[in-house]
């Protein structure tokens, strides 16, 4: 990773926390400040990743085994790193992603109970050392997350992406506790922003977290 000059920002949090809106707003602001920005999302991102996303989130795939699920998330990511993220960082761009390996740690490592080691090992293989410089967690409590995710599923007609949202509340309790432990273990890598305020207040908190990390640009 000798070439790398850009900045890699990852937005994380529980379902319904508002991170997608915040990632978009941050990308917009960075562009206004003159940075080249690559926006990405996981699962998905690349065209191949979007095909894998359909398998991962299709509620018909109830029998998807936890280890198969884990590998599919990493398959998406390996493609994303190779095709989009690494080239963008190498040419000095800011990459803004809506979820990355921190999601896999929280949802599969902690939520599914697969553990930290397997996630760390697969990250090494799939990402080849490409890792966020900063992960912003938009933090909301469990009850708000479950309520927002369910409301979203009701309002989006024909929603084919509900498989993860249909997990039990206990699963989401482990995911949230996972995020909290991850921050405790590596506090320097994370900024936790309170996601309960209005969109602009949250955006101000996000921008404060990002500012100190920005590379100089001419």
Comparison of 86 and 99: residue with beta carbon closer to ligand TMP: 99
* The two structure tokens encoding residue 54: 């359909």
CB 94 within 8 A of CB 38: yes
CA distance 54 to 164: 12
With contacts defined by CB under 6 A, name the span among 97-105, 134-142, 184-192, 193-201 that binds ligand TMP: 97-105
CB of 212 to ligand TMP, least distance (A): 26
73: closest CA among 119, 40, 19?
119
CB of 103 to ligand TMP, least distance (A): 4
Site for ligand TMP in 72-91 (CB under 6 A): 73
Query: What is the distance between the alpha carbons of residues 132 and 102, in angstroms, rounded to a whole number?
Result: 9
Classify 68 as helix, strand or coil. helix
Paired residues of 8 in beta bridges: 95
Q: Is 172 in the site for ligand TMP (CB under 6 A)?
A: no
Name the segment binding ligand TMP (CB under 6 A); options: 1-9, 103-111, 133-141, 182-190.
103-111
Burial (Cβ within 10 Å: 0-12, 13-18, ≥19) of residue 3: exposed
Q: What are the helix (H) ranges across 12-100?
A: 19-32, 47-57, 66-80, 86-90
Question: Among residues 164, 191, 203, 209, which is the contact residue for ligand TMP, using CB under 6 A?
Answer: 164
Among 42, 114, 127, 146, binds ligand TMP (CB under 6 A): 42
The answer to whether 9 and 133 are in contact (CB under 8 A) is yes
User: Which position among 40, 46, 79, 103 is part of the footprint of ligand TMP (CB under 6 A)?
Assistant: 103
How many residues lie near ligand TMP (CB under 6 A)? 10
Least Å from the CB of residue 104 to ligand TMP: 3
124 and 1 Cβ atoms separated by less than 8 Å:
no
Choosing from 6, 18, 43, 49, the residue that interacts with ligand TMP (CB under 6 A) is 43
Query: How far apart are the C-alpha atoms of 202 and 129, rounded to whole Å?
Result: 30
Binds ligand TMP by CB under 6 A, chosen from 6, 10, 11, 15: 15
Options 107, 110, 172, 190; binder of ligand TMP; rule CB under 6 A: 107
Residue 147 per-residue DSSP state: H
- Least distance (Å) from ligand TMP to the CB of residue 85? 13
The residues that touch ligand TMP, with contacts defined as CB under 6 A, are: 15, 42-43, 73, 99, 103-104, 107-108, 164
């Amino acid at each position: 990773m000798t070439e790398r000059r850009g900045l890699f920002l990852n937005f994380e949090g529980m379902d319904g926390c508002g991170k997608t809106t915040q990632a978009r707003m941050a990308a917009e602001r960075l562009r206004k400040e003159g940075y080249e920005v690559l926006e990405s999302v996981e699962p998905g991102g690349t065209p191949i990743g979007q095909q894998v996303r359909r398998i991962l989130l299709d509620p018909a795939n109830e029998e998807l085994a936890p280890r198969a699920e884990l590998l599919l998330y990493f398959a998406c990511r390996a493609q994303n790193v190779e095709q989009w993220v690494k080239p963008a960082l190498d040419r000095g761009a800011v990459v803004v992603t809506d979820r990355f390996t921190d999601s896999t740690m929280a949802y599969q490592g902690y939520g599914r109970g697969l553990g930290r080691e397997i996630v760390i090992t697969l990250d090494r293989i799939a990402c080849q050392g490409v890792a966020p410089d900063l992960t912003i967690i938009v933090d909301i409590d469990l009850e708000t997350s479950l309520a927002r995710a369910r409301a979203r599923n009701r309002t989006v007609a024909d929603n084919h992406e509900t498989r993860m949202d249909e997990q039990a509340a206990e699963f989401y309790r482990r995911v949230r506790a996972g995020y909290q432990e991850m921050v405790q273990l590596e506090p320097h890598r994370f900024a936790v922003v309170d996601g309960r305020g209005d969109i602009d207040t949250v955006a101000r908190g996000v921008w404060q977290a990002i500012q100190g990390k920005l590379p100089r640009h001419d």
